[in-house]
Amino acid sequence: MCTRRWKPVEWFQGLENLPCRLRRLFSGVTSIVSDIEHQLSTLLGHITELPDSFNADSDLIDDLALESMQVMEFVMEAEDHFDVAIAQDRLADVRTLAQLATVIEKLRGPAR
List, in order of start, the domains of the chain with CATH numbers: 20-108 (1.10.1200.10)
Counting Cα atoms < 13 Å in the Cβ hemisphere of 55 gives 2
pLDDT at 31 (0 to 100): 53
Q: Is the pLDDT of residue 34 over 50?
A: yes
pLDDT (average), residues 90-108? 91
| Contact assessment for residue 97 and residue 43, using Cβ atoms and an 8 Å cutoff | no
CB 101 within 8 A of CB 40: yes
List, for residues 35-54, the tens digit of each pLDDT value.
888 899 999 998 888 888 88
pLDDT of residue 104 exceeding 90: yes
